[in-house]
Amino acid sequence: MKQSTHQAKPSKGYLESMLTTRRNLIKVSGTAAGSFTVAASLAGCGALVNREIQESGDWEANAWLTLQADGTVTFTLDRVEMGQGTYTGLTTLLAEELEVRPDHIEIIFAGADTVYRNPDYGLQLTGGSNSISTSWGPLREIGATARQMLVAAAAEVFQVPETYLHASEGKVVHSASGKSITYGDLLKLAAQQSVPDEIALKTPEQYKYIGKQNARLDNIQKVTGTANYGIDSVRAGMKHAVIARSPYIGGTLVSHNADQVRKMKGIQAVLEVTSGVAIVADSYWLARKAQEALKLEWQRTADGPGSSSEVMKFYQQQAQEDAGDELRDDGDFDAARKEASRVLESSFELPFLAHATMEPMNCVADVQQDRADIWTSTQAPDLAQVVVAKVSDLSLDEVHIHNQFIGGGFGRRLSQDFIGEAAEISFKAGIPIKLVWSREEDTQNDFYRPASYHRLAAAIDSEGKVSGWDHQIVCPKIMDWFIWDAAPAMFPWAPKFMYSMLGKAGLMTEGTPMTPPDKSPYEGADDLPYAFPALRVRHTKADAGVPVSFWRSVGHSHNAFVTESFVDELAHELGKDAYQYRRELLADSPRLLAVLDAVAEKGQWGRSTEDGVFQGISAHKSFGSYVAELVELRISGSEIEVLKVVCAIDCGTVINPDIVKMQIESCIVFGLTAALYGEITIADDQIEQSNFHDYQMLRMNQIPVIETVIIQSNELPTGVGEPGLPPLAPAMAGALFAATGERHRKMPFRLA
Position with higher pLDDT, 494 vs 71: 494
Separation CA 367–CA 369 (nearest Å): 7
Separation CA 171–CA 67 (nearest Å): 12
**Residue 188: per-residue pLDDT:** 81
> Residue 700 above 90 pLDDT?
yes
Position with higher pLDDT, 192 vs 532: 532
Average pLDDT, the chain: 91
**Residue 434: per-residue pLDDT:** 98
**Residue 26: per-residue pLDDT:** 38
Model confidence band, residue 189 (pLDDT cutoffs 50, 70, 90): confident
Q: Based on DSSP, count helices (H) and strands (E) in the chain, helices before strands.
A: 19, 28
Separation CA 520–CA 481 (nearest Å): 12
Query: In this structure, are residues 630 and 727 in contact, taking their beta carbons and an 8 Å threshold?
Result: no
How many Cβ atoms are within 10 Å of 612's Cβ, its own excluded? Answer: 11
Query: In this structure, are residues 516 and 13 in contact, taking their beta carbons and an 8 Å threshold?
Result: yes
> Residue 44 above 70 pLDDT?
no
Which helix or strand (DSSP H or E) is residue 472 part of?
A: strand 466-475
Share of the chain above pLDDT 90, in %: 85
Q: What is the DSSP letter of 164?
A: G
Separation CA 110–CA 63 (nearest Å): 8
Separation CA 663–CA 659 (nearest Å): 6
Share of the chain above pLDDT 70, in %: 91
Half-sphere CA count of 313, side-chain side, radius 13 A: 8
**Residue 62: per-residue pLDDT:** 31
| 357 alpha carbon, distance to own chain's centre | 13
Separation CA 709–CA 688 (nearest Å): 40
* Torsion, Cα of 693, 697, 701, 705 (10° steps): 160
> Residue 11 above 50 pLDDT?
no
Query: In this structure, are residues 682 and 300 in contact, taking their beta carbons and an 8 Å threshold?
Result: no
Tens-digit pLDDT profile for residues 652-699: 999 999 999 999 999 999 999 999 999 999 999 999 999 999 999 999
> Residue 63 above 80 pLDDT?
no
Quick one: which of 250, 240, 244, 233 has its CA closest to 422?
A: 240
Distance spanning both ends of the chain, measured CA to CA: 30
**Residue 36: per-residue pLDDT:** 58
3.40.50.720, 3.40.50.300, 3.30.365.10, 3.40.50.970: CATH of 309-352+450-478+518-740: 3.30.365.10
Q: What is the DSSP letter of 396?
A: G
Model confidence band, residue 34 (pLDDT cutoffs 50, 70, 90): low
Model confidence band, residue 8 (pLDDT cutoffs 50, 70, 90): very low
Alpha-carbon distances, residue 134 vs 49, 89, 270, 517 (angstroms): 17, 12, 45, 21
Give me the residue spans of the domains in the chain: 22-224, 230-301+361-436, 309-352+450-478+518-740
Model confidence band, residue 56 (pLDDT cutoffs 50, 70, 90): very low
> Residue 399 above 50 pLDDT?
yes
Tens-digit pLDDT profile for residues 221-241: 999 999 999 999 999 999 999
**Residue 18: per-residue pLDDT:** 24
> Residue 21 above 50 pLDDT?
no
Separation CA 42–CA 47 (nearest Å): 9
Q: Cβ neighbours of residue 639 under 8 Å, at least 6 residues apart?
A: none
Phi-psi region at 575: left, alpha or beta (left = phi > 0; alpha = psi -120 to 50)? left
Model confidence band, residue 609 (pLDDT cutoffs 50, 70, 90): confident
User: Mean pLDDT across the stretch 475-485?
Assistant: 97
How many Cβ atoms are within 10 Å of 70's Cβ, its own excluded? Answer: 9
Separation CA 107–CA 216 (nearest Å): 13
> Residue 126 above 60 pLDDT?
yes
User: Mean pLDDT across the stretch 553-575?
Assistant: 98
* Long-range Cβ contact pairs of 81-84 (< 8 A, separation 24 or more): 81/109, 81/218, 81/405, 81/406, 82/126, 82/377, 82/379, 82/405, 82/406, 82/407, 82/408, 82/409, 82/413, 83/406, 83/407, 83/408, 83/409, 83/666, 84/129, 84/131, 84/659, 84/663, 84/720, 84/721
Q: Cβ neighbours of residue 349 under 8 Å, at least 6 residues apart?
A: 312, 451, 452, 453, 454, 745, 746, 747
230-301+361-436 matches 22-224 in CATH topology: yes
Predicted model pTM = 0.93
Position with higher pLDDT, 437 vs 21: 437
Structural fold of domain 22-224: Aldehyde Oxidoreductase; domain 4 (3.30.365)
> Residue 24 above 80 pLDDT?
no
**Residue 124: per-residue pLDDT:** 95
> Residue 300 above 50 pLDDT?
yes
Cis? peptide before 657, omega within 30° of 0: no
Backbone angles phi, psi at 420, to 5 degrees: -60, -40
**Residue 645: per-residue pLDDT:** 98
For residue 405, list its beta bridge partners. 229
Weakest mean pLDDT among 30-44, 136-150, 486-500, 557-571:
30-44
Separation CA 524–CA 529 (nearest Å): 9
User: Mean pLDDT across the stretch 64-88?
Assistant: 91
Query: In this structure, are residues 105 and 73 in contact, taking their beta carbons and an 8 Å threshold?
Result: yes
> Residue 426 above 80 pLDDT?
yes
SS3 content of the chain, % helix, strand, coil (to 5): 35, 25, 45
Provide the 3-class DSSP secondary structure of residue 297. strand
User: Mean pLDDT across the stretch 619-648?
Assistant: 97
For residue 177, list its beta bridge partners. none
Domain 230-301+361-436 has CATH 3.40.47.10: no
Tens-digit pLDDT profile for residues 497-518: 999 999 999 998 888 887 889 9
Tens-digit pLDDT profile for residues 334-348: 999 999 999 999 999
Phi-psi region at 349: left, alpha or beta (left = phi > 0; alpha = psi -120 to 50)? beta
| 518 alpha carbon, distance to own chain's centre | 15
Query: In this structure, are residues 652 and 718 in contact, taking their beta carbons and an 8 Å threshold?
Result: yes
Model confidence band, residue 218 (pLDDT cutoffs 50, 70, 90): very high
Task: For Cα atoms 173, 176, 179, give the angle at the middle one, nearest 5 degrees.
Answer: 40
Separation CA 659–CA 744 (nearest Å): 32
**Residue 69: per-residue pLDDT:** 82
Position with higher pLDDT, 61 vs 123: 123
**Residue 1: per-residue pLDDT:** 59
> Residue 31 above 50 pLDDT?
no
**Residue 383: per-residue pLDDT:** 98
Q: What is the largest CA-CA distance in the chain?
A: 83
> Residue 38 above 60 pLDDT?
no
Backbone angles phi, psi at 162, to 5 degrees: -60, -30
Weakest mean pLDDT among 277-286, 395-404, 464-473, 514-523:
514-523
> Residue 624 above 90 pLDDT?
yes
Model confidence band, residue 33 (pLDDT cutoffs 50, 70, 90): very low
Pairing of strands 534-541, 466-475: parallel
Separation CA 388–CA 393 (nearest Å): 9
**Residue 613: per-residue pLDDT:** 96
Separation CA 63–CA 49 (nearest Å): 7
Which helix or strand (DSSP H or E) is residue 221 part of?
A: helix 219-224
**Residue 64: per-residue pLDDT:** 67
